[in-house]
Structure 1
Amino acid sequence: MLHPTTEAPAPDWPAPATTLNAGGRSDWVLVCEHASCHMPADYGRLGLPPGAERDHIGWDIGAADLTRALAARLDAVAVLAGYSRLLIDLNRPLGTPASIPERSEATEVPGNRALPQAERDRRAARMFAPFHAEVAALLDARAAAGRRSRLLTVHSFTPVYLGQGRPWHLGILSGRSRKLAGALLAAVGADAPDLRLALDEPYQVEDDSDYAIPVHGDARNLDALLIEVRNDLIRDPAGVDLWADRLSRALARI
């Protein structure tokens, strides 16, 4: 990984990571890699029409609000990203096609086409490396203090992708923490039996296409889960509150 840049944050260049409730007492450490749709004006919206970055291609709709609400209910620390995943995806290994996507779902991203390596390195140093350095430093500090850490990364997904409907309300993904993923699925299902829940939907965690769970979770031998809530369920405060209540109850039981 590249070293984080030493450039100071500016109004249009906010901090790449924001840590909330650093002294939280919970074992859960919340991470939201797709919390923001912000793109500095320098990038000209990457050639996309106005507002395109606020759709699901630019961030995980509702995930940041859900992360904040979970942090409050669980008394957990949370780390939230400061930039749109269209600039660089914090949950993709550097150098992979999805890291800086030239196409997101059915949308071409002109500003990412034929990108010079120097610009790829700039984004990695200014956005990717500082974010993951903050997560790593947090986990290191907790380990040094003898504190247990259980990683939970918070995501949302679009109900329809490339014309295909996605019927699930919640997906729970994992690498090595398969038993824990099943326990969380059972705990949510016991609280809300009418929901459509699934393991490893609508994606799967894989070392060559995911970053946070393999690197910050499995490589440290931590409990590590990724949750995906369908984004039409958490687009407003009432939906966020409902899911934060539901998930915090389930997380507290496993």
Structure 2
Amino acid sequence: MTEPVLCPADPAPVTLIGPPLAPGPLVFLGDHAGALIPRSLGTLGVGEADRRRHIALDIGIGQLGRLLAEHFGATFVSQTYSRLVVDCNRAPFSPGAMPEVSDGTAIPGNTDLAETVRADRVAAIHEPYHQAIADLLAGRRAAGLPTILVALHSFTPVYAGKARPWQAGVIHGGPGSDYGRRVLAGLQGVQDLTVGDNLPYAFDDTDYTIPRHAFPNALQWLEIEIRQDLLGTPDQVAEVARWLAPVLRDAMEG
């Protein structure tokens, strides 16, 4: 018998912060908010410095999600474990869900994984996270509450040797993205802020969370990316929340 992915001493794979039946529509998601690795997996063969890099988590998003949830009296659904264990914004059995190499760093603990091992990680972490989102949405729907999904992500200032000038990026496309386009317009009006329109990433078929939860429920949604050098300290994260929150609020009125 193989050792369970999560043991009783490991934290739960998902945390809900804030009231699930908040009257306001915003629900914040942190697909890559956590950086923990289950005890059963050790370090995945990855050094400590790399386990703090963007390959392991979306830096700053855990705190940003908490601040925004507190500001709006909303819910933040936060993933606990590192995206290197299983990426919850990827189809569970896709190659990108458990990468063998990420941004040039080998992940020995993900090399030549058996399908049973992949299935165990999905069952322990990926599916409980998405089931928590589905249950939250079902509860809100039953209560007659409107919902807008806001998936929070962060990105590196430099990737593959190229500097990224955008301080924030709005990812939109497909059904339900009117809210995202209004947020894009609002951020473009923030003084001294350089905003990417589907940059540094664009919505594509690698995205999993929004297609799984927003599309079948006909929800408005937004994926927003914040550059990680703006999220390096608690004060910096608070400053991002300060200029982001009014834009998210105003876009609800469009």
Q: TM-score range by the shorter chain?
A: over 0.9
In structure 2, what is the Cα distance between the partners aligned to 1:9 and 1:31? 25
The AA in structure 1 aligned to 2:119 is: D
CA contact (8 A) 1:205 1:213 kept: no
Instruction: Report deviation, 1:146.
Output: 0.5
Alpha-carbon displacement from aligned partner over 1:88-115 (angstroms, at most 9, x marks no partner): 0000012211111111111111110100
Q: Which residue of 2 aligns with 1:47?
A: 45
- Spell out the pairing of 1:161-200 with structure 2 (5 A cutoff): 161-176=159-174, 177-190=176-189, 192-200=190-198
Q: Which runs of 5+ in 2 are unaligned?
A: none
SS at match of 2:216: helix
Q: How far 1:7 moved relative to its partner? A: 9.1
* Correspondence for 2:89: 91
Q: How many Å apart are 1:204 and its aligned residue?
A: 1.5
Q: Which residue of 2 aligns with 1:108?
A: 106
Q: CA deviation at 1:9?
A: 6.2
Cα displacement (A) at 1:184: 0.6
| Residues 111-161 of structure 1: per-residue CA shift (max 9 Å, x gap) | 101001111000000000000000000001100110000000101001111
Deviation at 1:10, TM superposition (A): 2.4
How far, CA to CA, are the matches of 1:216 and 1:182 in structure 2?
19
Q: In the superposition, relative to structure 1, how do residues 250 and 7 fare at CA in structure 2: closer, same or farther (>3 Å)?
A: same
User: CA 1:165/1:7 → structure 2, altered by over 3 Å: closer, same or farther?
Assistant: closer
Q: TM-score, normalised by structure 1?
A: 0.92
CA 1:7/1:94 → structure 2, altered by over 3 Å: closer, same or farther? Answer: closer
What SS is found at the alignment partner of 1:98?
A: helix
RMSD: 1.6
Contact 1:21 1:76 in 2 (8 A): yes
Note the C-alpha offset of 1:36: 0.7
Write the distance in 1 (CA, Å) between the matches of 2:82 and 2:6. Answer: 19
Q: Are 2:220 and 1:223 equivalent residues in the alignment?
A: yes
Partner of 1:26: 24
Query: Distance in 2 between the 1:248 and 1:9 partners?
Result: 38
Aligned to 1:3: none
Q: Write the letter of the residue equivalent to 1:171.
A: G
Take 1:237 and 1:16, find their aligned partners in 2: how far apart are those partners? 24
Spell out, residue by residue over 1:217-252, the C-alpha distance to the aligned partner (whole angstroms, 9 max, x if none).
Answer: 122110011100001101111111111111111111
Match of 1:137 among 122, 135, 138: 135
State the 4+ residue runs in structure 1 displaced beyond 6 angstroms. Answer: 6-9
Q: CA deviation at 1:64?
A: 0.7
1:121 aligns with one of 108, 119, 122: 119
CA distance in structure 2 between the partners assigned to 1:56 and 1:75 by the alignment: 28
**How far did residue 25 of structure 1 move?**
2.9
Percent identity among equivalent residues?
36
CA distance in 2, matches of 1:247, 1:239: 12
* TM-score, length of structure 2 as denominator length: 0.92
Which AA in structure 1 matches 2:183?
Answer: L
CA contact (8 A) 1:60 1:157 kept: yes
Q: Cα deviations across residues 179-217 of structure 1 (Å, max 9, x unaligned)?
A: 322211221232x221110121111122x3111111111
- Please say if residues 5 and 38 of structure 2, whose CA atoms lie closer than 8 Å, have aligned partners that are also in contact: no
Q: Spell out, residue by residue over 1:43-91, the C-alpha distance to the aligned partner (whole angstroms, 9 max, x if none).
A: 1211112232111110000011000000011111110001000000000
CA distance in 1, matches of 2:86, 2:184: 30
Cα drift, residue 175 of structure 1 = 3.1
How many residues are aligned here? 246
